[in-house]
A and B are shown apart, each in its own frame.
Chain A
Amino acid sequence: EVQLLESGGGLIQPGGSLRLSCAASGFSLSADHMSWVRQAPGKGLEWISIIYSGGGTQYADSVKGRFTISKDNSKSMLFLQMNSLRAEDTAVYYCARGILTYFFDDWGQGTSVTVSS
């Protein structure tokens, strides 16, 4: 059974940094593609980054240059390093697995990030 468990969220001041983690089980990170998708309070879903099975990455313009996606295949861990955080980054952050690059087959339960002074 595929399981995704996010952690690392919390309250952080504007301009600060945070590192989110996603523990994956039931599949291999080296075989599938992983994304981060966020959801601001009361809002819809926003895709922010993907890391391909081979390690290539892409980002949404809203986070490009500030966020970095990475993974440790041997530990089945996905990460999102978030720097220069802004109030508009406040959201629940989900990790999501895609067997192909097109759709998001499995999702975690999310971790909440609040950027506020």
Chain B
Amino acid sequence: DIQMTQSPSSVSASVGDRVTITCRASQGLKTWLAWYQQKPGKGPKLLIYATSNLQKGVPSRFSGSGYGTDFTLTISSLQPEDSATYYCQQAIDFPRTFGQGTTVEIK
């Protein structure tokens, strides 16, 4: 199985800050990577697919980049509603696997 490792595990930042989350895969993914946002008690929400494509309705302050084994999710200007846990997911092979999650907290 492909292992997905996210860092950091948690981050605390102020409104307006730039936040970067990284995801590293144990094997090359090309661009077959997605990012999800999950708030407490809710199902995850797809933010970005195929590394850098913004899902419809997702604010443009979210962006993704990377290729192969190293990927990044960036929130350009953190908003209060961005407080959540973020997961990366590889889509090149089964079983589909997710990172362990990064919790973003607003200071």
A61: which B residues are within 8 A, CB to CB? 95
Q: Would B46 and A104 count as touching, CB distance under 8 A?
A: yes
A73 contacts partner chain B, Cβ-Cβ < 8 Å: no
A: number of interface residues (CB 8 Å): 21
Chain B interface residue count, Cβ-Cβ cutoff 8 angstroms: 24
For chain B residues 75-107, which have a beta carbon within 8 Å of chain A?
Answer: 87, 89, 91, 94-101
Interface residues of A (CB under 8 A from B): 4, 35, 44-47, 50, 58, 60-61, 94, 96, 102-110
Check B14 for interface membership: any CB of A closer than 8 A: no
B32: interface (CB < 8 Å): yes
Bound form: Cα–Cα A10–B28 in Å: 39
CB of B42 within 8 A of CB of A109, answer yes
Tell whether B18 is near chain A: CB-to-CB under 8 Å: no
Residue B55 at the chain A interface, CB threshold 8 Å: yes
* Bound CA–CA A94/B96 (angstroms): 15
B71 interface residue per 8 A CB criterion: no
Q: Which residues of B contact A94 (CB under 8 A)?
A: 43-44
Interface status of B61 (Cβ within 8 A of chain A) = no
- Give min CB distance, B2 to chain A, whole Å: 11
Neighbouring B residues of A60 by C-beta, 8 Å: 95
Q: Does the CB pair B49–A47 fall under 8 Å? A: no
Known contacts A44-B98, A44-B101, A47-B97, A105 near B46 by CB under 8 Å: yes
